[in-house]
Structure 1
Amino acid sequence: MNFDFSDDQKFLREEARKFLSAQCTTKEVREVLDDEAMSHHAGVWQKIVEMGWLGAAIPEEYGGLGLGMLEMCVIAEELGRALAPVPFGSSAFFFAEAVKLAGSEEQKKALLPGVSDGSIIGTIAASEGPGAVDAAHVNAAYKDGALSGIKVPVTDGDIATHAVVLVKEGSGHSLVIVDLNGDGVERSSLGTIEPTRSHAEIKFNAAPAKRLGDAGQGLALYDQILDRAAVLLAFEQLGGASVCLDMATEYAKERHAFGRPIGGNQAIKHKLADMYVKNEVARSNAYYGAWALSTDAAELPEAAAAARVAASEAYWFASKENIQTHGGMGFTWEVDCHLYYRRAKLLAVQAGGPAVWKEKLVSALERKNAA
């Protein structure tokens, strides 16, 4: 079985990398960091919208490019390499996939074209504070077409136009879609370790909402959405981890101490080797996840969990060791190492931390072995 990307997909990767290398450098990332009023880089976002990437995995009948999930994986990795300070993941990985998975024909026609052309920025709101997202920790309630409750933190919640929200409905749980610019919605920005990906607290007070999918199926649908988004997040993490390894390797070659490159020291060699091994393990798992995602394979839950665990570990380790390899310079504001460390820490907890995904992986394997 060949898990590699096709020539067309590799060409897309090359073109995406060229585009982002020119349009989304760490200069643009730092502009968002330096300006507290900026929640994202509007200029970069508009250029990405114009490239049509948001619609890569959206069928043509709903205004997308109709390419597929493998192409979205390729784009996700390049966005991760560039540290793109835009709400791409919230809109394309979570919101669009939720609508594609559970939306009615009317909802797909109303929402997906807007995601593709950037007029709709979507997000998903499930968490209500510390703790797992499960039946015991969901208190936001939906009744008679109105939603009340609090969701926090919501990734890109301060700039999103629409949200898929996990709610209590009667004795069960459902998903609903809310227009965040409508009545009964109050938003406030939150500070995080990674300001280039904004977060918000959203309060709903009898906000008009429409159910997404069947009543009582919210938790099951949410798990399916997470499995799909997890693979795409893994590729985004893989992209960042790859850059960290490249940065550390180049610095080890260029930095001299006692008349020789520091890369000649055994301790540095071991750091780089360990980074490479973890990155390759993450890549293998991400490719397995991409296959399962693109074919709707029954193995998707375990493949997504494995990809997520491996990618989170690889990115955190690579970003940490990149700083260590740079020595004292690695801790300074002027050097870009901290930009990747921030993003690594943030992505590791988005949609559930490593412990959550390890538990998902164990559960998926147990179900498989019991079958």
Structure 2
Amino acid sequence: MNFDFSDDQKFLRDEARKFLEAQCTSAHVRAVLDDDGMSHNDEVWQKIVEMGWLGAAIPEEYGGLGLGMLELCVIAEELGRVLAPVPFGSSAYFFAETIKLAGSDEQKAEWLPKVADGSIVGCLATTEGPGALSASNVHTTAKDGVLSGTKVPVTDGDIATHAVVLAKEGSGAGLYVVALDQDGVSRTSLKTIEPTRSHAEITFNNASATRLVPQEGNGLKPYEGNGMVLLEQIMDRAAVLLAFEQLGGASRCLEMATDYAKERHAFGRPIGGNQAIKHKLADIYVKNEVARSNAYYGAWALSTDAAELPEAAAAARVAASEAFWFASKENIQTHGGMGFTWEVDCHLYYRRAKLLAVQAGSPAVWKEKLVSALETKNAA
């Protein structure tokens, strides 16, 4: 079985890389990092919107390009290489995929075209503090189209115009779309290890909300309390896309470390000639290739709606999180004393690696999901 991308998808990757290397440099990333008043780089964001990438996996009938999930994986990897300081993932991986999976035809027609053309920025608000997410620790409530509660942290919550919110519904939970510009919503920006991807605490006080009503199919029925079932599927889809973003960052870290090892001389020879440095680079390469294999398997499962998606998504997420963190750490070590300075870009990748590792669930959560998926598969 061939899991590699097609020639057209590789062409898309090459063109996306050229575009982002020119339009999203480290200077654009640092502009957000150095300015406490900037939540994202709007110049880069608008250019990405113009490219139409937000609609890559949105069907043409809803205003998208109708390319597919594999193309979105390709774009995600390239965005990860340059640490794009934009709310792309929140809109494309989480909000749009939630609407596609959990929305009715009418709801898809209402919101997906607006995501595709960038007129709205979406996010997903599920957690209410530390700990693994479950129906028992969801305290936000929704009744008669009115929602109240607090969600924290919400990635890109201070940028977004709309949020999909997980709210308590009987003994289960439901998913609701909330416009964030109304009087019943207040937002507070949060400080994190990675300021180039903003986060917020969002409080809902009798805010108007629309419940997502999935079409029958995919093992689901439009009954109350199925929000957690839907959320599991949404997280599996987002996990694969996040894995590609992490893979892009890890690949760039290896390139940075390799280039520096060739250029930096000590005692009259490149430091890359030292066995210790060679071992560091080789270890990064091995972890990156393991992550790439798992990410490609996840992309196949995602694009074909395969039954193996839960285990493939978990494996991709675990491997990519480990690879990006390791690559970013070893990149700093390879650069030596320079790697720890503000002027060198190594810390930008370390920050993003730490952030992405806990977005949509920590590695520990995904390891548990992987074990559960394998146990279920083996018991069948």
SS at match of 1:346: helix
CA distance in 1, matches of 2:172, 2:206: 19
Query: Runs of at least 4 residues of structure 1 off by over 2 A?
Result: none
Q: CA deviation at 1:169?
A: 1.1
Amino acid at match of 2:250: A
Superposed, which structure 2 residues align to 1:9-24 within 5 Å?
A: 9-24=9-24
| Alignment match, 2:53 | 53
Contact 1:154 1:200 in 2 (8 A): yes
Q: CA deviation at 1:327?
A: 0.3
TM-score (norm: length of structure 1): 0.99
CA RMSD of aligned residues (A): 0.6
Q: CA deviation at 1:102?
A: 0.8
Determine if the alignment matches structure 1 residue 272 to structure 2 residue 281: yes
| Alignment match, 1:83 | 83
- Bigger shift: residues 135-144 or 223-232: 135-144
| Alignment match, 1:130 | 130
Contact 1:32 1:39 in 2 (8 A): yes
| Alignment match, 2:28 | 28
| Alignment match, 1:195 | 195
Determine if the alignment matches structure 1 residue 64 to structure 2 residue 96: no
Determine if the alignment matches structure 1 residue 262 to structure 2 residue 271: yes
Determine if the alignment matches structure 1 residue 344 to structure 2 residue 356: no
| Alignment match, 2:298 | 289
| Alignment match, 1:253 | 262
| Alignment match, 1:107 | 107
Contact 1:183 1:208 in 2 (8 A): no
Q: CA deviation at 1:171?
A: 2.2
Q: CA deviation at 1:183?
A: 2.7
SS at match of 2:337: helix
| Alignment match, 1:363 | 372
Residues 223-263 of structure 1 show CA distances to partners (whole Å, capped at 9, x for unaligned) of 00000000000000000000000000010111111111111
Contact 1:322 1:330 in 2 (8 A): yes
CA distance in 2, matches of 1:57, 1:243: 25
Superposed, which structure 2 residues align to 1:186-335 within 5 Å?
A: 186-213=186-213, 214=222, 215-335=224-344
SS at match of 2:186: strand
Matched pairs, number: 371
Amino acid at match of 2:241: L
Q: CA deviation at 1:172?
A: 1.7
- Bigger shift: residues 58-67 or 255-264: 255-264
Q: Could you list the runs of 5+ residues in structure 1 that have no partner in the other structure?
A: none
SS at match of 2:209: strand
SS at match of 1:289: helix
Contact 1:193 1:346 in 2 (8 A): yes
Amino acid at match of 2:10: K
| Alignment match, 2:121 | 121
Amino acid at match of 2:163: A
Contact 1:234 1:312 in 2 (8 A): yes
Q: CA deviation at 1:212?
A: 1.1
- Bigger shift: residues 128-137 or 17-26: 128-137
- Bigger shift: residues 23-32 or 178-187: 178-187
Q: CA deviation at 1:137?
A: 1.5
Contact 1:115 1:122 in 2 (8 A): yes
| Alignment match, 1:161 | 161
Q: Could you list the runs of 5+ residues in structure 2 that have no partner in the other structure?
A: 214-221
Residues 166-212 of structure 1 show CA distances to partners (whole Å, capped at 9, x for unaligned) of 11012221111111112310001000000000000000001011111
The percent identity for this pair of structures is 82
CA distance in 1, matches of 2:172, 2:252: 44
Contact 1:189 1:198 in 2 (8 A): yes
Q: CA deviation at 1:348?
A: 0.2
